[in-house]
């Protein structure tokens, strides 16, 4: 916490929060656009109901406003690490399925993957500023996905993107909470906001 | 001998050793090699190479290091740079690699003569890369979701080596693939850009001599974005005539960045842009209403955007979009002026009202019509006259007086404020003073000094002065507080007449005019000079003024240049107002060439040459010579005439020698009273040949002597005294001359002297004096056909008056009338008649013919009625024949006795040259 109290650390934290918020916003916008492309390319129904993706914490939580900053950062970090792995797997699967035939979808997935990675970096930096240890990825990562059918892969991909869009919204609010002056990562924010 | 064969064998061995396949696997087994092998050297550094000979070559070919020769591209390296390290190794050192070239070879001089190459290397010289500098990156938005980052840097000096540049970028935990420039070494473009993460960017340059990195640039790519400009810009007019609304679409999402904008606009047709204040457009938006615009004016708009916080780059300006504001009522009335033509009638005016169309920013729309109102201020009772006009002028016929004219411009929205012009009965107010002009580039400034009274405004009229067309007036209005205006549209080298009128609240001042040029040039042609009058020492030259189109400026003076063919040119400067000049002190009878030059402030132009020749004599000189000469001639002639007159007798004697007159023959001496003077010429005229045919006897009767004057009667008295008994009627043998008197016919029996004279002569002719039967007696001479010689003693100088022609005529006559007697007549009567006039010859002829035929007894006077002189002659003749009766009788049949006949002697007066009776 000492590091977080220094002016430079505060500026750094504020800068990270600011960029994280804008990155989350862009990520959500890109994911929404990507969802349209994905549904169309994979031949799915945009209104199809998809079960929760295994290994990805749900964005919607109860008592969100009671979470501490660190808790928020940790949940975000876990989620985005999971998204990074899932998106990498989706990108791999998509390349296997379509090859270079649909470079646009691949580029869009790669761009979102990069944004997820960047956001993950933001979260890690924020945790580092709080002198918190960054949890290792091995233990926190999602379990290796079972071998799925092609359709199941498509549905899972749809679920991943939808959940990522949800998380992008929540992450922006989480970081906005963290960026507020006087807000302590260890204390719960006073505002009762819900993602 | 041995040595020679030894060297040959050695050389042969070397060749074999070099050229034979190597058992170890190479085609060539060299006798040595160079270290280092193909080095890359830094330019300017020192370098040492070693040539190491193989031991096998040493043993067999007697080759040692001291025989090594180093060469650079066939050029032997100086031996000072060699060093023999041992018997198989030689080194060469270069202090500066810039002197190196490729290849560097190691050669051996076998037996001191044959040079063989042992080995060679390629040397590459260059520079290590410099640190790239000035790295900068910009993210270009390519489409709504596509961004590329282009980075540029300064690669530094040329290295002369293959140098690779790599643009590197990374996140703290993510390293991205390098961007390798293609074809260039100073820029590279990265396609996958992720925003909101600080990215570390740097450039790495590397070649064989080293590697260098630029400073690292850490930047969030979103902060270096140059976004695409807004699209689908539209302009729409609002309710207000001064507002236009712009709408557009942004091509970058809010998730990436928020935008601020710049809006610029300009009036269509103008080039200068106006900008909406940046603080008004500093927030994200997709529309904006631009206010403060002119009504009914076309505007062009353009927009650009950038990140709201100002970090990054402005987009390009959008393409221009245009819009027009709605109409508003005209903001002011049209400027109005008039031209008054009072030439038609003394009591009325033709008033040409004219006004200028409002400028677009004043009209605020399309002017549909002008409403003209005329009010007679001198008559309150006269009604207000209104006219609706669509043009910008209107002509009125008005009685002279003071009028107030109002013009209002109207468009679809409303009417303008009225423009008022007062037309006074006379321009009696004070005019402007000190009117002057001054050219200012392409404008002509007109300035004046204001009158003392308060002036509402000034009207400046100007027109292009032309010799071929009327002055078309242009005008403009200036406010009353100015004392000068710039006239636009003035052409250079043209003369303008500028007039300024001051307008007062209650009247108008008279106009003051000035002529001006915006720019002057030399005249386009010179004056054509000619002479009006040329004298002996002076010539009057005349010319016409140049037309105003030819002047090109104010003519300051004319210059006359004249000269003779071989003389110097004389220059005379003449006032420009003159059209005539007299050259004086010219040389007489000399050809002069004259030309004329017109000058403005900016140059001169000479007209064509004209030549003239001065006269040889001056005015009056000829008269002064001719008149005296003529006078002298006349004087001489007069003196000669006088002299001749005085000496006429002497002259006559020399010029006209005395020729014997047949009439003065012996017969003529019968009658000593022959008149002193005979005029045969007159006789011939009076009695031409053929006048008489049958006349043989003429009787002369003096019936009434009283009718004669005393002088006339003297001959008769004398005749009486001479006691003549015969009237001298000759009887056929010759005739006397005209001077013969009737006495001659009878003198044969009387006068002794006469008898003496006539005794030896023959009568030649008969003189007939009597008229026939109361008619005027005609003096007729009949020539005798006698062949008797003439008597010289009878010659009289007077008798030659008739000349030879008369004699010849008479001779002809005699031939025609041969055998017939001639009539005789009374000489005095005829002499007097001849003194009065010369009667018409024809008349006499006619008379004589009638007389001869006897068919008419008409008196002689009746044949001369038409001519007064003839009448006078007739009178004289009648007078002369009074008392005498001429009877045409044949001599043989009726010879007259002397007693019966009146005396017919002529008076024997002594006359000069006359005949003196003996």
pLDDT number for residue A143: 59
More confident residue, B132 or B797: B132
Residues 19-38 of A with CB under 8 A from B: 19-20, 22-23, 25-26, 28-30, 33
Comparing alpha-carbon positions, the chain B residue that sits nearest to A107 is B192
Contact A114 B195 (CB under 8 A): no
Q: Tell me the count of A-B CB pairs closer than 8 A.
A: 51
Give how far B261 is from chain A: nearest CA, Å.
21
Q: In chain A, where do the E strands start and end?
A: none
Q: Which of chain A's residues have a Cβ under 8 Å away from the Cβ of B194? A: 111, 114-115, 118
Q: What are phi and psi of B773, to 5 degrees?
A: 45, 70
Summarize the confidence of residues A23-30 as an average pLDDT.
89
Name the pairing type of β-strands B217-219 and B231-237: unpaired
pLDDT, tens digit (0-9, with 9 covering 90-100), for B434-461? 999 999 888 899 999 999 889 999 999 9
pLDDT number for residue B138: 95
Q: What are phi and psi of B222, to 5 degrees?
A: -70, -15
Looking at chain B, the whole-number percentage of residues with pLDDT higher than 70 is 68
pLDDT number for residue B166: 94
Give how far B414 is from chain A: nearest CA, Å.
54
Q: Could you tell me the pLDDT band of residue B670, with boundaries at 50, 70 and 90?
A: low
Q: What is the mean pLDDT of chain A?
A: 79
Give how far B225 is from chain A: nearest CA, Å.
15
Summarize the confidence of residues B18-28 as an average pLDDT.
42
Would you say B867 and B841 are in contact if contact means Cβ atoms under 8 Å apart? Answer: no
**DSSP-derived 3-state class of residue A104:** helix
Residue B911: pLDDT above 70? no
pLDDT, tens digit (0-9, with 9 covering 90-100), for B479-534? 999 989 999 889 899 999 999 999 998 888 889 999 999 999 999 999 999 999 99
Give how far B195 is from chain A: nearest CA, Å.
7
CATH 2.60.40.10-classified regions of chain B: 32-126, 133-219, 227-324, 336-517, 529-621
Say how far apart CA B147 and CA B149 lie, in whole Å: 7
pLDDT number for residue B61: 64
Residue B555: pLDDT above 80? yes
Architecture in CATH of A10-47+77-134+149-179: Up-down Bundle (1.20)
Query: B529-621, superfamily in CATH?
Result: Immunoglobulins (2.60.40.10)
pLDDT number for residue A184: 52
Would you say B511 and B482 are in contact if contact means Cβ atoms under 8 Å apart? Answer: no
Give the contacts of B834 (CB within 8 A, at least 6 positions apart). B679, B682, B686
Summarize the confidence of residues A166-174 as an average pLDDT.
91
The CA-atom distances, in angstroms, between B211 and each of A167, B180, B216 are: 45, 15, 15
pLDDT number for residue B865: 39
pLDDT number for residue B418: 94
Q: Could you tell me the pLDDT band of residue B10, with boundaries at 50, 70 and 90?
A: very low
Residue B751: pLDDT above 90? no
Four-point Cα dihedral B291, B295, B296, B299, nearest 10:
-30
Four-point Cα dihedral B834, B839, B842, B844, nearest 10:
-60
pLDDT number for residue A102: 67
Q: At what angle do helices A103-129 and A69-98 cross, to 10 degrees?
A: 160
pLDDT number for residue B826: 41
Q: Could you tell me the pLDDT band of residue A182, with boundaries at 50, 70 and 90?
A: low
Four-point Cα dihedral B253, B256, B258, B264, nearest 10:
-70
Residue B741: pLDDT above 70? no
Dig out the tokens for B26 from the structure: 């190479």
Residue B858 preceded by cis peptide, ω within 30: no
pLDDT number for residue B599: 93
Give how far B277 is from chain A: nearest CA, Å.
29
The b/e string for A80-118 (b: 16+ C-beta within 10 A; e otherwise) is bbbbbbbbebbbebbbeeeeeeeeebbebbbbbbbbbbb
Q: How many residues does chain A have?
A: 195
Would you say B185 and B235 are in contact if contact means Cβ atoms under 8 Å apart? Answer: no
Residue A61: pLDDT above 50? yes
Four-point Cα dihedral B390, B396, B402, B407, nearest 10:
0
Of residues B173, B192, B253, nearest to A121 (C-beta):
B173
Give the side-chain half-sphere CA count within 13 A for B786.
Answer: 25
The CA-atom distances, in angstroms, between B636 and each of B249, B466, B548, B648, B652 are: 130, 69, 66, 17, 21
Contact B197 A23 (CB under 8 A): yes
Would you say B279 and B228 are in contact if contact means Cβ atoms under 8 Å apart? Answer: no
Which of these, B214, B204, B163, B170, lies nearest to B184 by C-alpha position? B163
Say how far apart CA B611 and CA B607 lie, in whole Å: 13
The CA-atom distances, in angstroms, between A76 and each of A56, A122, B86 are: 10, 10, 75
pLDDT number for residue B98: 80
**CATH class of residue range B32-126:** mainly beta
Contact A121 B254 (CB under 8 A): no
The 10 Å Cβ neighbour count of residue B649 is 11
Of residues B145, B171, B195, nearest to A121 (C-beta):
B171
Identity of the highest mean pLDDT range in A135-139, B600-604, B795-799: B600-604
**DSSP-derived 3-state class of residue B264:** strand
pLDDT number for residue B198: 85
Residue B206: pLDDT above 70? yes
pLDDT number for residue A144: 61
Looking at chain B, the whole-number percentage of residues with pLDDT higher than 90 is 38
Contact B196 A124 (CB under 8 A): no
pLDDT, tens digit (0-9, with 9 covering 90-100), for B680-721? 444 444 444 444 444 444 444 444 444 444 444 444 444 444
pLDDT, tens digit (0-9, with 9 covering 90-100), for A107-152? 888 889 988 988 998 898 888 888 777 777 765 555 566 677 778 8
pLDDT number for residue B917: 40
pLDDT number for residue B133: 93
Worst-scoring range by mean pLDDT, A18-32, B150-164, B283-297, B891-905?
Answer: B891-905
Q: Which helix (H) or strand (E) holds B136?
A: strand B133-141
Which of these, B15, B7, B30, lies nearest to B118 by C-alpha position? B30
Q: What is the mean pLDDT of chain B?
A: 75
Residue B45: pLDDT above 50? yes
Q: Which of chain A's residues have a Cβ under 8 Å away from the Cβ of B199? A: none
Would you say B601 and B556 are in contact if contact means Cβ atoms under 8 Å apart? Answer: yes
Contact B194 A118 (CB under 8 A): yes
Q: Could you tell me the pLDDT band of residue A18, with boundaries at 50, 70 and 90?
A: confident
Would you say A160 and A44 are in contact if contact means Cβ atoms under 8 Å apart? Answer: no
More confident residue, B422 or B649: B422
pLDDT, tens digit (0-9, with 9 covering 90-100), for B825-882? 444 434 443 444 343 443 433 333 334 333 333 433 333 334 444 444 444 434 333 4
Architecture in CATH of B227-324: Sandwich (2.60)
pLDDT number for residue B672: 52
Which of these, B413, B292, B420, B323, lies nearest to B364 by C-alpha position? B413
Summarize the confidence of residues A2-16 as an average pLDDT.
74
Give the contacts of B279 (CB within 8 A, at least 6 positions apart). none
Q: What are phi and psi of B264, to 5 degrees?
A: -120, 155
Contact B171 A118 (CB under 8 A): yes
Q: Could you tell me the pLDDT band of residue B235, with boundaries at 50, 70 and 90?
A: very high
Q: What are phi and psi of B546, to 5 degrees?
A: -65, 145
Say how far apart CA B7 and CA B107 lie, in whole Å: 16
Is A13's Cβ below 8 Å from some Cβ in B?
A: no
At the topology level, CATH places domain B336-517 in Immunoglobulin-like (2.60.40)
Comparing alpha-carbon positions, the chain B residue that sits nearest to A114 is B194
Contact B194 A29 (CB under 8 A): no
| DSSP code of residue B732 | S
Q: Which of chain A's residues have a Cβ under 8 Å away from the Cβ of B222? A: 22
If one looks up domain B133-219 in CATH, what number appears? 2.60.40.10
Interface test with A, best of B174, B218, B255 (most A CBs within 10 A): B255
Summarize the confidence of residues B217-232 as an average pLDDT.
93
Say how far apart CA B790 and CA B808 lie, in whole Å: 16
Q: What are phi and psi of B482, to 5 degrees?
A: -105, 155
pLDDT, tens digit (0-9, with 9 covering 90-100), for A85-97? 889 988 888 887 7
pLDDT number for residue B844: 39
Say how far apart CA B447 and CA B462 lie, in whole Å: 13
Q: Could you tell me the pLDDT band of residue B412, with boundaries at 50, 70 and 90?
A: very high
């Amino acid at each position: 916490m000492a590091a977080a109290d220094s002016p430079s650390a505060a500026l750094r934290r504020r800068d990270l929060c600011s960029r994280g918020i804008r990155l989350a916003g862009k990520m959500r916008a890109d994911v929404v656009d990507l969802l349209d492309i994905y549904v169309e390319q994979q031949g799915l129904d945009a209104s199809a109901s998809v079960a929760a993706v295994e290994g990805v914490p749900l964005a919607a939580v109860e008592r969100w406003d009671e979470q501490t900053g660190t808790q928020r950062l940790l949940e975000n970090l876990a989620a985005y690490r999971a998204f990074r792995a899932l998106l990498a797997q989706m990108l791999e699967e998509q390349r296997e399925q379509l090859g270079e035939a649909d470079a646009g979808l691949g580029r869009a997935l790669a761009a979102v993957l990069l944004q997820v990675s960047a956001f993950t970096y933001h979260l890690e930096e924020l945790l580092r500023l709080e002198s918190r240890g960054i949890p290792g990825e091995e233990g926190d990562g999602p379990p290796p996905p079972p071998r799925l059918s092609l359709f199941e892969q498509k549905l899972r991909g749809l679920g991943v993107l939808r959940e990522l869009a949800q998380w992008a919204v929540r992450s922006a609010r989480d970081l906005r909470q963290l960026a507020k002056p006087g807000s302590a990562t260890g204390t719960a924010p006073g505002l009762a906001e819900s993602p | 001998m041995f040595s020679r064969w030894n060297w040959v064998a050695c050389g042969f061995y070397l060749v074999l050793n070099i050229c034979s396949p190597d058992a170890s696997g190479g085609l060539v087994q060299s006798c040595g090699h160079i270290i280092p092998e193909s080095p890359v050297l830094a330019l300017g550094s020192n370098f040492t190479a070693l040539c190491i000979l193989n031991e096998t070559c040493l043993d067999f070919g007697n080759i040692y290091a001291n025989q090594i020769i180093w060469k650079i591209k066939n050029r032997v390296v100086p031996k000072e740079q060699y060093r023999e390290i041992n018997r198989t190794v030689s080194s060469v050192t270069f202090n500066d690699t810039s002197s190196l070239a490729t290849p560097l070879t190691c050669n051996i001089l076998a037996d001191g003569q044959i040079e063989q190459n042992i080995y060679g290397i390629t040397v590459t010289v260059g520079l290590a890369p410099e640190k790239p500098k000035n790295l900068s990156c910009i993210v270009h938005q390519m489409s709504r979701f596509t961004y590329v980052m282009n980075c540029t840097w300064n690669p530094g000096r040329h290295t002369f080596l293959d140098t690779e540049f790599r643009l590197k970028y990374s996140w703290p935990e993510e390293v991205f693939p390098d961007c390798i420039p293609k074809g260039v070494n100073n820029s590279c473009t990265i396609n996958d850009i992720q925003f909101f993460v600080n990215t570390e960017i740097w450039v790495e340059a590397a070649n064989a001599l080293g590697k260098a990195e630029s400073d690292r640039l850490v930047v969030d790519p979103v902060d270096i974005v140059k976004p695409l400009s807004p699209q689908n810009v539209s302009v729409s007019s609002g309710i207000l005539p001064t507002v236009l609304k712009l709408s557009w679409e942004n091509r970058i999402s809010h998730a990436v960045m928020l935008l601020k904008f710049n809006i610029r606009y300009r009036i269509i047709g103008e080039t200068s842009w106006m900008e909406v204040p940046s603080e008004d457009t500093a927030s994200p938006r997709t529309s904006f209403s631009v206010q403060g615009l002119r009504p009914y004016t076309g505007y062009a708009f353009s927009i650009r955007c950038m990140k709201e916080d100002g970090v990054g780059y402005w987009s390009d300006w959008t393409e221009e979009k245009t819009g027009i504001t709605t109409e508003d009522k005209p903001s002011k009335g049209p400027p109005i002026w008039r031209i008054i033509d009072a030439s038609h009638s003394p009591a009325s005016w033709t008033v040409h009202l004219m006004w200028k169309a409002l400028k677009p920013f004043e009209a605020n729309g399309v002017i549909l019509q002008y409403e003209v109102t005329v009010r007679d201020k001198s008559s309150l009772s006269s009604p207000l006259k209104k006219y609706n006009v669509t043009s910008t002028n209107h002509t009125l016929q008005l009685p002279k007086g003071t009028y107030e004219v109002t013009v209002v411009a109207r468009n679809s929205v409303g009417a303008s404020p009225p423009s008022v012009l007062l037309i006074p009965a006379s321009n009696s107010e004070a005019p402007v003073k000190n009117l002057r002009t001054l050219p200012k580039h392409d404008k002509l400034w007109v300035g004046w000094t204001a009158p003392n009274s308060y002036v509402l405004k000034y009207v400046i009229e100007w027109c292009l002065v032309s010799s071929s067309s009327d002055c078309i007036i242009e005008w403009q209005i200036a406010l009353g507080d100015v004392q000068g205006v710039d006239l636009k549209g003035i052409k250079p080298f043209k003369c303008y007449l500028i007039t300024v009128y001051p307008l007062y609240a209650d009247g108008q001042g008279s106009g003051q005019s000035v002529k001006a040029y915006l720019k002057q040039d030399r005249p386009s042609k010179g004056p054509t000079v000619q002479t009006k009058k040329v004298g002996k020492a002076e010539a009057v030259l005349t010319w016409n003024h140049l037309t105003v189109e030819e002047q090109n400026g104010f003519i300051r003076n004319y210059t006359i240049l004249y000269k003779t063919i071989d003389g110097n040119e004389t220059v005379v400067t003449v006032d420009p107002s003159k059209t005539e000049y007299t050259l004086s002190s010219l040389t007489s009878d000399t050809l002069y060439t004259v030309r004329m030059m017109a000058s403005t402030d900016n140059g001169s132009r000479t007209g064509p040459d004209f030549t003239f020749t001065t006269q040889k004599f001056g005015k009056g000189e000829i008269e002064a010579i001719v008149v005296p000469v003529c006078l002298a001639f006349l004087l001489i002639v007069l003196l000669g005439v006088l002299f001749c007159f005085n000496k006429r007798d002497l002259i006559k004697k020399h010029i006209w020698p005395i020729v014997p007159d047949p009439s003065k023959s012996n017969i003529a001496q019968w009658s000593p009273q022959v008149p002193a003077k005979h005029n045969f010429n007159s006789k011939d005229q009076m009695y031409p040949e053929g006048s008489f045919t049958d006349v043989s006897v003429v009787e002369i009767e003096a019936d009434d002597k009283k009718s004669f004057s005393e002088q006339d009667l003297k001959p008769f008295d004398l005749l009486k005294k001479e006691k003549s008994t015969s009237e001298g009627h000759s009887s056929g043998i010759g005739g006397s001359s005209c001077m013969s008197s009737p006495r001659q016919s009878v003198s044969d029996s009387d006068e002794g002297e006469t008898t003496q004279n006539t005794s030896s002569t023959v009568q030649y002719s008969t003189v007939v004096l009597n008229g026939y039967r109361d008619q005027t007696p005609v003096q007729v001479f009949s020539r005798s056909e006698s062949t008797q010689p003439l008597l010289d003693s009878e010659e009289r100088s007077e008798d030659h008056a008739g000349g030879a022609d008369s004699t010849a005529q008479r001779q002809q006559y005699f031939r025609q009338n041969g055998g017939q007697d001639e009539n005789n007549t009374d000489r005095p009567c005829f002499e007097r008649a001849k003194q009065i006039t010369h009667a018409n010859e024809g008349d006499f002829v006619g008379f004589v013919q009638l007389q001869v035929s006897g068919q008419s007894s008409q008196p002689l006077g009746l044949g001369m009625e038409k001519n007064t002189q003839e009448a006078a002659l007739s009178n004289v003749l009648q007078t002369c024949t009074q008392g005498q009766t001429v009877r045409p009788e044949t001599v043989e049949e009726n010879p007259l006795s002397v007693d019966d006949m009146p005396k017919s002697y002529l008076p024997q007066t002594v006359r000069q040259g006359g005949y003196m009776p003996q």
